[in-house]
Amino acid sequence: MSRRLPRMPRELRKFARLARARRWRIEVKGSGHLAWIPPCGRGTVFTSSTPSDPRTIKNVIAQLRRAGLDDRDPRRNPTARGDKR
């Protein structure tokens, strides 16, 4: 990533840290939008860095989950690993 991430809402910052920990790349485009690129390189999600609608953050999180970003913590949720305990 060549540019520093812009200011963003707390919920998106949380997902940005999580995505980077899971080897996703987050690039700032010339327009200020963010490109969330998964490790496989396919299924890039484009978002605004400063959402204007209250539903935007929830929609972005849903898009990232559909693209493969798993935000479940296997230490807290055994079913996140597939265990059926």
Residue 81: is it exposed, middle or buried by C-beta count within 10 angstroms (0-12/13-18/19+)? exposed
Q: How many domains does the chain have?
A: 1
The answer, yes or no, to whether residue 4 has pLDDT greater than 70, is no
Print the domain residue range for 65.
10-69
- Give the pair of three-digit tokens for residue 44: 């890039």
Query: Considering the domain boundaries, does residue 51 fall inside one?
Result: yes
Within-domain flag for 75: no
Q: What is the pLDDT confidence band of residue 2, given thresholds at 50, 70 and 90?
A: very low
Rounded CA Rg of the chain: 14
Assess if residue 50 is contained within a domain.
Answer: yes
Q: What is the domain-level CATH number for residue 52?
A: 3.30.920
Whether residue 30 lies inside any domain: the answer is yes
Residue 29 inside a domain? The answer is yes
Rounded average pLDDT over 66-77: 75
